[in-house]
Amino acid sequence: MDKILTPEQLMRSRYDAFVRMDGEYLAQTTTQETPTDMSAYKNIEWLKLEVVDAKEDTVEFKAYYTEDGVIGLLHEISSFVKVDDEWKYDDGKLLASSISRNESCPCGSGKKYKKCCIK
């Protein structure tokens, strides 16, 4: 893998690791001492990632997913730090958020959410 140069690149690679259920990579890219338990994510299908804002050491993102047939949204501002010249995920602040009825459905159908999966 290429060297991660920015927190946004790391956040995107960590999203990909969640999609692949790669707990080892997630553990390697965080400042936390505990291993990443992927069992909480076994019924989740990740749909898409939207980067809202990326700054020097924070990334705000929205990750859309389905769990048991219901579309959900994880909206977070993640903090990153450099450890031994490598970016690591440090902490995240969850934000209350919901999918707007008029935005494109996260399932990728091309329809508005209110005409698709909101049912």
Nearest to 30 by CA among 7, 46, 47, 51: 7
Q: Take residue 64 and report the two structure tokens written for it.
A: 């859309």
Distance in angstroms (rounded) separating the CA atoms of residues 86 and 57: 12
Question: How high is the pLDDT of residue 119?
Answer: 61
Question: How high is the pLDDT of residue 27?
Answer: 93
Q: What is the DSSP string of the chain?
A: -PPP-SHHHHHHHHHHHHHHT-HHHHHHTBS-SSPP-GGGGTTEEEEEEEEEEE-SSEEEEEEEEEETTEEEEEEEEEEEEEETTEEEEEEEEE------TTSBPTTSSSSBGGGTTT-
| pLDDT-flagged residues of the chain (< 50) | none
Question: How high is the pLDDT of residue 52?
Answer: 96
The reply to whether CATH 3.40.50.720 applies to domain 7-115 is no
Q: What is the pLDDT of residues 10-19, one digit of tens each?
A: 999 999 999 9
Question: How high is the pLDDT of residue 22?
Answer: 94
Question: How high is the pLDDT of residue 36?
Answer: 77
